[in-house]
Amino acid sequence: MTGETVIENWRTRTYRAVGLAIVLLIGATTTKANKNPDDQVQKSFEKTVTLSGSQGLSLDNRFGSVRVSGGSGHDVKITAAIRVQAKSKEDAQEFADKIQIDVQQSGDGVHVRTIYPDDQAKYVLRIQWKKASYSVDYDVTLPVDAPLWVRNDFGNVETSGVHGWARIENGHGAIDVKDAGETKITNAFGRIGLNNASGNSTIVNNNGSVDVANVKGTLDIKNRFGSIAATQIGGTTTISGGNGSVELTSVSGGATVTNTFGNVTARTINGNLNLHNSNAKVEVSDVTGNADLATTFGELDVERIGGTLSVEDNNGQVNAREIHGTASIKTSFGRIVATNLYKAANLVTGNGNIEANGVGGDLYAKTSFGSLDLRSIKGNLTVQNSNGAVTAANVSGDGSVDTSFGGVTLSGIGGKVRVDNQNGAIEVTTSSDSCKDISLKTSFSHIVVRIPSKGGYRVSARTSFGKISSELPITSTGTIGSDVLNGTIGNGACTLELANSNGSIEISKSR
């Protein structure tokens, strides 16, 4: 035998041996892989029951999905798929045969209940031994107006076109309800979706998102740990959230929202809005009624409120725009920025600046450590500040300012002016042609007052370590000195009291 023939034989036999091994192995493993479908069993259950009058359906399941849809006629058609997997097909079949679907009819309707073998104590040990796994999925059609009660534990629940009163309870699974009537939905761990409900709706969830759209009646949502979104709600809406965001849009009957640790957005609310959040941001817009808003440790942004606005924030900035009713805004450790408040406003912050532009009525503004910039005030202005500058312009009414350690600049003041400052300059320019009483007091800085030349004032000016000067002619009476001036400008109809310590006083014409 030649060397080539030996090699050829050797190769042939090697390939043969290896090929045989492959065939054997693939056969063995494929056989093993294909054994899996054999240990599963699926059984079908079907039953039709007729309802009469106001009878309804109750369905109680634990493991598997439940799908219910409204249909025509008076029949309830129940279809169920019972699935079992066990170590052998025989075991699976035996277990599947033990799962019962109990259908009872009584005066109030049809009651469907899944009875699993482990519901019966005598089977518990068998289940442990056999380790069967199982689920039962339902597909039910019932008369469209029939009441429905579904209880499930571990599986999704879907209903559609059920217009009668419906109560859906689940434990661990999603709930989707479409085209419903009056609904009450409860879940523990899973998403809840409700779309198109003609009646009132109540939703309670523990740990899962809630999404609601198009509810014609009232809506009441409670969710402990999960986001909430609701839109197109016809009735009054009440939302009690927990640690998730809340988004509410297009509500016709007013809304009440409480939340913690999650941002809240409310838009287009027809009616009053009562919103209390904490530890997160709040955004509100387009409320036709009154808005009562509160949050802590978060920014609050509000615009276009038809009624009164009440805001209470703790440690957060407040932005308010286009408020048609009176506005009361309080915050601590945050700035207030207000634009176009069409009625009177109270703006109070603990430690922050206040900016207001366009207030339709009286404005009361208070801060402790911050500056104030206030413009276009149609009513009277009252400012209380402890440590900061005050700038106000175009105030139709009186201006009253108390501050210290900051300059006060008032221009275009139409009414009386009173400024009590310490350690800061005062500059006041009146806008009216006629005189108004003016009283300005400060120390360690200068006072400048610009008054109409046609106005008449009884002047009383006093300073120390400074000089008094006047651009307008003054008829002096009483004591005259470099630090004291008493006299009259024009007819002396109004008072002009200027008091300073360690600073000059200057009286000039307003241009």
Partner 1 sequence: MNDMSVTCVDRERIFMDGSAKEWTALEAHAATCAECGEEVRAWKSMSVAASELKQEWETPYLWSKIERSLTERSAEKPWHVRGWLNLIERARLQWQTVAALVLVIIVTATVFVTRPWSARDQDPHFLQNSAMNEVERAEAAYQRAIDKLDAQARPQLEVPSPLMASYREKLLVLDNAIAELREQAGQNPANAYLRRQLLAMYQEKQETLQEVLETKR
Binding residues for partner 1 (CB under 8 A): 1, 3, 6-7, 9-10, 13-14, 16-18, 20-22, 24-26, 29-30, 32-33, 36-37, 40, 63-64, 83, 85, 118, 127-128, 131-135, 154-155, 172-173, 188-189, 206-207, 224-225, 242-243, 260-261, 278-279
DSSP letters spanning 138-172: EEEEEETTS-EEEE-SBS-EEEES--S-EEEE-SB
CB of 67 to partner 1, least distance (A): 15
CA distances for 228 relative to 209, 256, 257, angstroms: 6, 13, 11
Nearer to partner 1, 13 or 467 (CB): 13
CB of 59 to partner 1, least distance (A): 18
CA of residue 460 relative to chain centroid, distance:
56
Cα gap 399→95, rounded to integer Å: 87
CB of 93 to partner 1, least distance (A): 15
CB of 333 to partner 1, least distance (A): 17
Residue 448: count of CB within 10 angstroms of its CB: 17
* DSSP reduced 3-state for 308: coil
CB of 162 to partner 1, least distance (A): 23
Taking alpha carbons only, the member of 416, 491, 412 closest to residue 457 is 491
CB of 206 to partner 1, least distance (A): 7
Give me the half-sphere count of Cα atoms (radius 13 Å) on the Cβ side of residue 488: 8
In 241-389, DSSP assigns E strands to 246-251, 255-258, 264-269, 273-276, 282-287, 291-296, 300-305, 309-314, 318-323, 327-331, 336-341, 345-349, 354-359, 363-367, 372-377, 381-385
CB of 32 to partner 1, least distance (A): 8
Nearer to partner 1, 190 or 407 (CB): 190
The 3-class SS string of 86-117 reads CCCHHHHHHHHHHCEEEEEEECCEEEEEEECH
The secondary structure of residue 8, as a DSSP letter, is H
CA distances for 335 relative to 29, 153, 277, 366, 390, angstroms: 72, 49, 18, 11, 15
What are the structure tokens assigned to 100, written together? 């019962």
DSSP letters spanning 64-94: S-EEEEEESSSEEEEEEEEEEE-SSHHHHHH
The secondary structure of residue 63, as a DSSP letter, is B
CB of 99 to partner 1, least distance (A): 12
CB of 96 to partner 1, least distance (A): 13
Nearer to partner 1, 17 or 480 (CB): 17
Nearer to partner 1, 76 or 101 (CB): 101
Cα gap 348→360, rounded to integer Å: 17
| Close Cβ partners of 6 (under 8 Å, ≥ 6 residues apart) | none
Count of residues for the chain?
Answer: 511
CB of 82 to partner 1, least distance (A): 11
CB of 213 to partner 1, least distance (A): 25
Q: What is the CA radius of gyration of the chain?
A: 40
Please enumerate, as own/partner, the contacts of 297-301 that have beta carbons within 8 Å and a separation of 24 or more. Answer: 298/263, 299/334, 300/331
CB of 41 to partner 1, least distance (A): 11
Nearer to partner 1, 18 or 480 (CB): 18
CA dihedral 242, 243, 245, 246 (to 10 degrees): 0
Nearer to partner 1, 181 or 242 (CB): 242
Nearer to partner 1, 36 or 44 (CB): 36
Nearer to partner 1, 36 or 52 (CB): 36
Nearer to partner 1, 158 or 427 (CB): 158
Nearer to partner 1, 201 or 205 (CB): 205
Nearer to partner 1, 279 or 339 (CB): 279
Nearer to partner 1, 66 or 449 (CB): 66
